[in-house]
Amino acid sequence: MNNNALHTVEAQIREQAAAYCESNNVPGFVAGVYHAGEQIVVAHGTANVATGAPMREDTGFLFGSVTKVLTTTLVLQQVERGLLDLDTPVVKYLPEFALTEPGAADKILVRHLLSHTNGIDADLFVPDAKGRDALKSYVTALASSCGSLFEPGEQLSYSNGGMIVAGRLLEAVTGMSYPELLKRDVYAPIGMKDSSTSAEQAILRSTAVGHFLDPETMAAKPAGMFMLPDTWGPAGATPIGTVADLLACGRTHLAGGVSPAGTRVLSAASTALMQQVAHDMATPNVPPMGLGWVLYPFGDTTVLAMSGASPGGVSILCVLPEHDLVFTAFGNESGAIMLQDQILQWLLSEHLGVQVPPVVTEVQQDVDLTPYVGTYRSDQLRIDVSIVDGQLEERATYELADESQERIFSEFVGGMTSAPPQRYVPIRPGLFAPAGYPLETFNGYMRLLLVSYHDVRDGQARFRNGGGRLSRRA
């Protein structure tokens, strides 16, 4: 590929980032693109408004849920070494793993943890623990705190709990802590030289902090929390690194498991397995799921993606095997996800010439709304759905279990623990769009804003899916 093409990409990202950050009060943004042997990194703005430290090309940031790709890579390494089997129940390796319903955990296979089909109802469950036994204490606490949403393999619901159990499983079969394993078996062989798993390590180099917009002034203020507790490490709480490190990770998955340095990190078969559809809900708001990767269809092109929220920040990693391209980015205010989406769509349509057909083409007017009315629940979340003025209205209430959960959750989201009611317009039976958005909003990553309802029986839907997460009719 000629250098000129990537110069154009660099100029475009620089321009888009400057315009978006300026108009949406995002303090800083950093992004990288690898394409056909060349790569660029672009940094813009400020890493921390309290200090004025600039966002640099080598500024570190929290990976958030991009970590799930790393955790999956670690599990498949242990499968290759014969220490784990994907189709064996988790309890064989981790006898203490249990949920509040007797026997529910016994049916969960190792594979279900990685494909988000395990049904563990623990989406907001963040027990506060630090250090070597953090994951052990998480698994112990599950048994008395969290149930299941569905039978394993029956549905798909984005699962932090599944990835954390996978992290504990790794500790049990290797005898090493999750951070040690990540450092030895992912960071080192991939060449992620600036990556770490703790604030103590991150402070030794330039690291961005997250920000929230002040509702009064709309100015960005640093988040009061740097990272979630260690209990969420394998789901995305603790890993920190740079754009160059994530590009190296993406390139390893492009190259069939061989790192840019030439080290084999994962077999070609395991790398391919992560990219195959493990479960498909057949609804546009929930893309098909591989192992660790979400498989976004953009026309004929599949984008392997994972985005990651951290307190006041958002990261993304996208790998396009058909086009030998990796895109990764971090913004230190959550609104930057829209910028990441814009850049991804520009890369697809303008840089690569991919035809990106609209996700939603037409809207049905006469959809019966009654099957969807009711109350839906998942871990510490209640959603009341009613009909108002011929539209669905959803009210989300966080029913946080205790003071510790409330403190952690409110710090993670910047203080807002209740959402205003949201109206939805029907696209077709079982699929709804938030009112007031133009339909092209949903063509890219933001198709996650659509809401779907599933498994209608006796005139009532059993499940609601928003943002890839299921809640069950109460």
pLDDT score recorded for residue 365? 86
Residues 119, 150: contact at Cβ < 8 Å?
yes
Listed by start position, the domains of the chain span 1-357, 370-473
Q: What is the pTM of this model?
A: 0.97
Q: Are strands 28-35 and 451-457 parallel, antiparallel or unpaired?
A: unpaired
Residues 462, 474: contact at Cβ < 8 Å?
no
Q: H or E stretch including 297?
A: strand 294-298
C-alpha span between 315 and 148 (Å, rounded): 29
What would the two tokens of residue 254 be?
């492009």
CB-count burial class (<10 Å; 0-12, 13-18, 19+) for 425: middle
Which of the following is catalytic: 65, 195, 196, 334? 65
**DSSP-derived 3-state class of residue 333:** coil
In 3D space, the residue among 197, 193, 71, 79 whose CA is nearest the CA of residue 132 turns out to be: 197
The three-point CA angle 373-383-129 to 5° equals 155
CATH classification code of 370-473:
2.40.128
In 3D space, the residue among 405, 62, 47 whose CA is nearest the CA of residue 237 turns out to be: 62
pLDDT score recorded for residue 387? 98
For 243-284, the DSSP string reads: HHHHHHHHHHHHTTTB-TTS-B-S-HHHHHHHTS-SB---BT
Q: Which amino acid is at 246?
A: L
Specify whether 65 is catalytic: yes
pLDDT score recorded for residue 416? 67
Superfamily of domain 1-357: DD-peptidase/beta-lactamase superfamily (3.40.710.10)
Residues 43, 328: contact at Cβ < 8 Å?
no
Q: List CB contacts of 90: < 8 A, sequence separation 6 or more.
A: 97, 105, 108, 109, 110, 113, 165, 169
C-alpha span between 331 and 27 (Å, rounded): 8
pLDDT score recorded for residue 3? 67
Strand partners, 31: 42, 329
Cα–Cα distances (Å) from 345 to 4, 26, 144, 173, 445, in that order, read 20, 20, 44, 41, 9
C-alpha span between 89 and 268 (Å, rounded): 25
Task: Show pLDDT as tens, one digit a residue, over the chain (474 residues).
Answer: 556 889 999 999 999 999 999 999 999 999 999 999 999 999 999 999 999 999 999 999 999 999 999 999 999 999 999 999 999 999 999 999 999 999 999 999 999 999 999 999 999 999 999 999 999 999 999 999 999 999 999 999 999 999 999 999 999 999 999 999 999 999 999 999 999 999 999 999 999 999 999 988 999 999 999 999 999 999 999 999 999 999 999 999 999 999 999 999 999 999 999 999 999 999 999 999 999 999 999 999 999 999 999 999 999 999 999 999 999 999 999 999 999 999 999 999 999 999 999 999 888 989 999 999 999 999 999 999 999 999 999 999 999 889 999 999 999 999 866 779 999 999 999 999 999 999 999 999 899 999 999 999 999 999 999 999 999 999
What would the two tokens of residue 195 be?
């990556």
